[in-house]
Chains A and B, each alone.
Chain A
Amino acid sequence: MESIYSLMSVIPFEFMEYGFMKTALLAVILISPLFALLGTMAVNDKMAFFSDALGHSAFTGIAIGVILGLRNPVISMLAFAVILGLAITRVKESGTASTDTIISVFSSISIALGIVILSRNGGMSKYSAYLTGDILTITNGEIIAIAVVLVLFYIIWIKIYNKLLLVSINPSFSASRGINNRLMENIFVVMVAVSVMLSVKWIGILTINSLLILPAAAARNISLNSKQYHFYSLVIGLFSGIAGLIMSFYLDTSAGASMVLAAAVIYFITLSLKSKIR
């Protein structure tokens, strides 16, 4: 890590004088590509609110952690988000209601359950930091965890992308080609759940979904094929993440929300370019 930091010191800006800004920048460089990647499929599958529900489930995850007396609630958050994600896809498959209704039902349950448990155990003020998140407080150990997940997920993505795309476009055709639709969907859900839970403390429950969806939505406006879609999403994610972080330093604003605003500006620019490109 030290060598990475000394390399970063070469950047001749005031914000690079501070160790916490270097760590935050490194975190943005790792989290943005991860979210950009997963965002492409979430946008394709019309699952934008799915990750939102997962973000909200962090409350219940924390609450379960409190009950179990865990020092770091990330394990209970991960476990609950994975279970919730799998439950949503299972109920969605049954076709009893539209996807947005089902996601909303689970989202409401997970936030209410979290608040009920936390209020029973003495309020949630201790965990209020999760609402807005703060990437500035991320530590080296946590960055390494995110880096490992990033590498692992890129490998999985390369392996399953074609199958996943086929399942999302035409499930009956993919089933006829011997693809296990449920398994593919579940792998994707678990990937989103793990990414959201690992980064929710840094980005915040209120803004995490925007970071997942906005770069992909912007990329979709200007890309002509799948390769471009992924590439643009990654570039937009990275750019808005870094720009937002630097902006927050000079404008004295919240880092997570500044990143989201940067991505939103890019979204509207791409929206105006859409008709010209296609």
Chain B
Amino acid sequence: MKPKLKTASAILLSFAFLGGCSYSENENDIVSASFYPMYLLAKEITKDTDINVKNIASPQTGCLHDYQLTTGNVRLLNESDVLIINGGGMEDTFIESASQNADVKIIDTSSHIESTSEEETNHDHHEHDHEEHDHGHEGHNHGENAHYWMDIHYAVMQAEEICHGLSEIYPEYSEVFQNNFNNFSAQCEKLEEEYDFYINETINAISFNEAFEFLCEHSNMNVVSSFEIDENFTPSARELAETIDTAAAENVSLIVTADDAGKSYADLMSRELNVPVAVLDPMTYIHDDNTSYIELMSKNLETIKEVFENDKP
């Protein structure tokens, strides 16, 4: 190799390594939330404190089932002092990565829900009596569904876990946390009443996103068939045909989906059955920083109202 080429190669290599030296240590404690719904709940609890919650999984990710951590995500995980997770298996990859960070304190927001949901199969926390769900597809029952934040009641429980967890770590703020939780809980209660008030007759629905099964339950919708569309699963023609037949027999009057891969199938089903589609927000896609959990959940209610008013099922 010529001397000039050797020098150039050496410079190139040193730049490649030096590029990583801009690392700066943050003095404040880092509280991070695994993904957006947890971030929203944590933000409610940490209002009016110095704690600045960071969201790990980046915007527009959707659910964490198939999420791949970026280098920045892993870095934030390793720098975090507190990690707030949804639990229920949603953050399996996160936990693996966080285990390299022995000092991180993990707040599992669903630890209480998981134990109660096993006991309370009848969902007696809720005022309605619901028919048993007849899921068209195996593996999509509540036992595995970890989209707890989409159930307002569960979301309050999750917020409570965050409140307790953070109060133990930062006792100086425990009163503020408790006040914030009380406010949030009151707002949720009001919203829950609105949902109950609006939809007072049980209807059958098809869901194209597992996240909405809890929400449907709150809205008096009986999910007769549920699909979770991702790169591992797209329904075959035969499955779609069978769902169409079931839906027609069960008198399905609403299809719910998120604005993701499931939407084209929801539209297909809507064309076949002549049934309206409600495009709801599973809260997994990031919004502007002023958005709150209550605001997004209210928007979902608005969407359902609009669909009902424009095209009464």
Residues of chain A at the chain B interface (Cβ within 8 Å): 15, 17-21, 24, 66, 119-123, 125-129, 131-132, 134, 136-137, 139, 245, 248-255
Contacts and interface: CB of A to CB of B under 8 A. Distances in A.
B60 A137 contact: no
Contact of B238 (A24, A125, A128, A249): A249
Given A125-B61, A125-B66, A129-B231, A18 B244 contact: yes
Given A128-B261, A249-B241, A254 B236 contact: yes
B129 interface: no
Given A119-B70, A121-B60, A123-B62, A132 B234 contact: yes
Contacts of B238: 249-252
A134 B234 contact: yes
A129 B238 CA distance: 18
B271 interface: yes
Contacts of B236: 248-249, 252-255
A127 B61 CA distance: 10
Contacts of B65: 125
B291 to A, nearest CB: 16
A226 B277 CA distance: 50
Given A119-B58, A251-B238, A252-B239, 8 more contacts: A21-B241, A122-B58, A122-B60, A125-B63, A125-B261, A126-B261, A250-B238, A253-B236
A128 B262 CA distance: 11
Nearest to A136: B237
B59 interface: yes
Contact of A119 (B68, B244, B264): B68
B48 interface: no
A126 B62 contact: yes
A121 B58 contact: yes
Contact of A20 (B58, B70, B268, B285): B268
A125 B67 contact: yes
Contact of A123 (B67, B241, B265): B67
A152 to B, nearest CB: 26
B237 A255 contact: yes
A126 B282 CA distance: 13
B240 A136 contact: yes
A38 B98 CA distance: 51
Contacts of B244: 18
Interface in B229-269: 229-231, 234, 236-241, 244, 260-261, 264-265, 267-268
B260 A126 contact: yes
Contacts of A20: 237, 240, 268, 271-272
B62 A125 contact: yes
Contact of A249 (B67, B68, B237, B267): B237
B60 A126 contact: yes
Contacts of A252: 236-239
B74 interface: no
B68 A134 contact: no
B286 interface: yes
A122 B286 contact: yes
Given A18-B244, A249-B241, A255-B237, A125 B58 contact: no
Contacts of A129: 229, 231, 234, 261, 264
Contacts of B261: 125-129
A123 B234 contact: no
A122 B229 CA distance: 18
Nearest to A17: B241
A254 B234 contact: yes
Contacts of A18: 237, 240-241, 244, 272
A19 B271 contact: yes
B154 to A, nearest CB: 24
20 contacts: A15-B241, A18-B241, A18-B272, A19-B272, A21-B237, A121-B60, A122-B61, A122-B285, A125-B260, A126-B261, A129-B231, A129-B234, A129-B261, A137-B265, A137-B268, A249-B237, A249-B241, A251-B238, A254-B234, A254-B236
A127 B264 CA distance: 12
Nearest to B231: A128
